[in-house]
């Protein structure tokens, strides 16, 4: 199978497009995030469990703080999955919001990691689990805090759990081990505001990812309630009052892009766009433009400013490489679309090397594969969860120096995105194709215009034509220059602000992505 050179060989270092980022632009608009499950990233003390010191040791892999080097991944923001004390491996049932999970180290270890990250220009946000606590949280066992949870004298069915030895039941949407907090009680809100202040002021994190936001206050069993929206308006005001540069992104898992806009602006800085994520993955997997085109149509209608978090898959979903059936070329193409599209991209740890995994959840949260050494170089002892046997071949060490590796493709694409702000802040203008396997769009910021073309299929494509009703370009003839290959394509003619019957390059190789700068 022919492999597209443009996304498998090292990208050169093109001159950045002159597109100054406005001073007032929030830092998260141009950030590239990396999601880490601490337990599985790197074990520094040989007990089989990842820890904060392990992440600190690996920071240079993520970003060494030197823009001149090309050996780091290049991300500039980190999201840490839950770091609080918890009886579970995953940490989403918290027993103390003011402390660090001892499996991961001490508060001093965490603050050291935070300092080292900040010195490299990396922002850090942490998971904030507001919807529920652990059933083992001291508050749940104390009569003094009875009204901090949702109770009923009878069991009302799904989500309700009886207390042993009585008729009373409490509500726990996810399980009996995670009782929901009662945000109709202002004391609960006051406590969580103290939690936010502690982490933003006393510890120094840069913000939060809020888990299960749509479930916060379920009215008559309904999610995304008006009471939930009202509460998050107060939440937004509170954390912005502590630090206007603090950031919050909400998890509102849904295929409905309208929910993104309903929470953004006065409740969260951003919401994850699940519809775009599934659209990209389904189109790359199915080799047809229909899924991503549908997602784009709804997103353009409901979120025309494209202000949201983007991703391929996350810690709750089968890993991207497994969804794509192990196809390396498709994994590169998915990364290409993610990192040339608008929105703030999030990369799940190990995605950049093609780690695989399908549910149950433990299988999609396995230890990071650093090398072909025992236990994948993650630890010197048996890890908390078995390493994927594929680590012998699929690991950071093997891919670091390989020009055609997935890791190299991610590094090059991230570098290209960060060097050219148009990819982060530019408009998205749709371009249609008469070929069901060709996806195209324009990214534009001021005088800077980039035409993106993607061949989603396993075949060479020559019989395609592009059309766009709106380009924001003056009527004229333009050249298109491949930013990676430094090749000139066919003349682009803009008439009445649009383009018709345009084929910028004679052929598109299988699974190829092209980045074409439009110049007078």
- Active-site residue (options: 35, 72, 206, 211): 211
Nearest to 202 by CA among 242, 241, 247: 242
Tokens of 468: 């766009």
Q: How far apart (Å, rounded) are the C-alpha atoms in residues 282 and 287?
A: 8
Cβ–Cβ < 8 Å for 29, 433:
no
What phi and psi values does residue 309 have, to the nearest 5 degrees? Answer: -85, 135
Residue holding tokens 């606590």?
Answer: 133
Which neighbouring-strand residues pair with 440? Answer: 431, 453
Q: How many CB atoms lie within 10 A of CB 512?
A: 26
Q: Is 256 a catalytic residue?
A: no
Q: Phi-psi region for residue 367, left (φ > 0), alpha (ψ -120 to 50) or beta?
A: beta
> Considering Cα of 337, then 90, then 173, then 216, what sign does the dihedral take?
negative
Cα distances from 479 to residues 85, 430, 518, in angstroms, run 58, 19, 6
Q: How far apart (Å, rounded) are the C-alpha atoms in residues 462 and 158?
A: 55
Q: How far apart (Å, rounded) are the C-alpha atoms in residues 456 and 453?
A: 10
Cβ–Cβ < 8 Å for 515, 416:
yes
Q: How far apart (Å, rounded) are the C-alpha atoms in residues 351 and 321?
A: 7
Q: How far apart (Å, rounded) are the C-alpha atoms in residues 112 and 355?
A: 29
Tokens of 115: 């300092």
Q: How far apart (Å, rounded) are the C-alpha atoms in residues 177 and 180?
A: 10
Residue holding tokens 């740890």?
Answer: 349
- DSSP secondary structure, 416-443, as one string: HHHH-THHHHSEEEEEEESSTTEEEEEE
Tokens of 207: 């913000």
Nearest to 425 by CA among 17, 13, 3: 17
Tokens of 98: 């003011």
> Residue 158: helix, strand or coil by DSSP?
coil
Q: Is 144 a catalytic residue?
A: no
Q: How far apart (Å, rounded) are the C-alpha atoms in residues 206 and 247?
A: 6
What phi and psi values does residue 11 have, to the nearest 5 degrees? Answer: -75, 140
Residue holding tokens 């009662």?
Answer: 182
- Active-site residue (options: 251, 275, 351, 352): 251
Q: Which residues are tagged catalytic?
A: 211, 251
């Amino acid at each position: 199978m022919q492999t597209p050179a443009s996304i498998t060989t090292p990208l050169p270092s093109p001159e950045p497009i002159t597109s100054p980022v406005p001073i007032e632009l929030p830092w998260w608009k141009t950030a590239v995030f990396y999601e880490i499950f601490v337990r599985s990233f790197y074990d520094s003390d040989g007990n089989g469990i990842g820890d904060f010191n392990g992440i600190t040791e690996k920071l240079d892999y993520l970003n060494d703080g030197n823009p001149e080097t090309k050996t780091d991944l290049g991300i500039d923001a980190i999201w840490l999955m839950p770091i609080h004390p918890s009886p579970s491996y995953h940490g989403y049932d918290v027993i103390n919001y003011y402390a660090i999970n001892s499996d991961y180290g001490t508060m001093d270890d965490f603050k050291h990691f935070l300092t080292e990250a900040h010195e490299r220009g990396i922002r850090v946000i942490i998971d904030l689990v507001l919807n529920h606590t652990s059933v083992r949280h001291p508050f749940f066992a104390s009569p003094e805090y009875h009204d901090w949870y949702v109770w009923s004298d009878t069991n009302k069915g799904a989500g309700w759990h009886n207390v042993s030895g009585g008729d009373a039941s409490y509500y726990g949407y996810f399980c009996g081990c995670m009782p929901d907090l009662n945000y109709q009680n202002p004391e609960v809100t006051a406590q969580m505001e103290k939690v936010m202040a502690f982490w933003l002021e006393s510890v120094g994190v840069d913000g939060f990812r809020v888990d299960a936001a749509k479930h916060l206050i379920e009215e008559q069993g309904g999610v995304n309630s008006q009471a939930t929206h009202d509460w998050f308006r107060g939440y937004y005001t509170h954390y912005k009052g502590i630090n206007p540069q603090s950031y919050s992104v909400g998890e509102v898992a849904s295929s409905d892009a309208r929910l993104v806009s309903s929470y953004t602006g006065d409740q969260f800085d951003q919401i994850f766009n699940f519809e775009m994520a599934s659209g990209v993955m389904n189109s790359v997997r199915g080799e047809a433009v229909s899924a991503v085109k549908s997602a784009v149509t709804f997103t353009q209608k409901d979120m025309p400013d494209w202000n949201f978090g983007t991703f391929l898959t996350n810690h709750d979903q089968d890993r991207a490489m497994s969804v794509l059936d192990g196809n390396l070329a498709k994994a590169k193409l998915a990364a290409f679309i993610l990192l040339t599209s608008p929105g703030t991209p999030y990369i799940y740890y190990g995605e950049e090397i093609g780690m695989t995994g399908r549910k149950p959840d433990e299988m999609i949260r396995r230890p990071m594969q650093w090398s072909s050494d025992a236990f994948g170089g993650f630890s010197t002892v048996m890890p908390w969860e078995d390493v994927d046997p594929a680590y012998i071949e699929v690991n950071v060490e093997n891919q670091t120096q390989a020009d055609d590796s997935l890791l190299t493709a991610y590094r090059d694409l991230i570098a290209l995105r960060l060097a050219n702000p148009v990819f982060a802040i530019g408009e998205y203008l749709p371009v249609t194709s008469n070929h069901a396997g060709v996806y195209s769009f324009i990214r534009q910021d001021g005088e800077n215009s980039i035409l993106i073309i993607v061949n989603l299929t396993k075949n060479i494509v020559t019989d395609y034509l592009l059309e766009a009703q709106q380009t924001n370009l003056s009527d004229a003839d333009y050249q298109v220059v491949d930013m990676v290959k430094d090749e000139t394509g066919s003349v682009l003619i803009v008439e009445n602000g649009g383009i018709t019957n345009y084929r910028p390059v004679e052929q598109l190789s299988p699974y190829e992505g092209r980045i074409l700068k439009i110049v007078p």
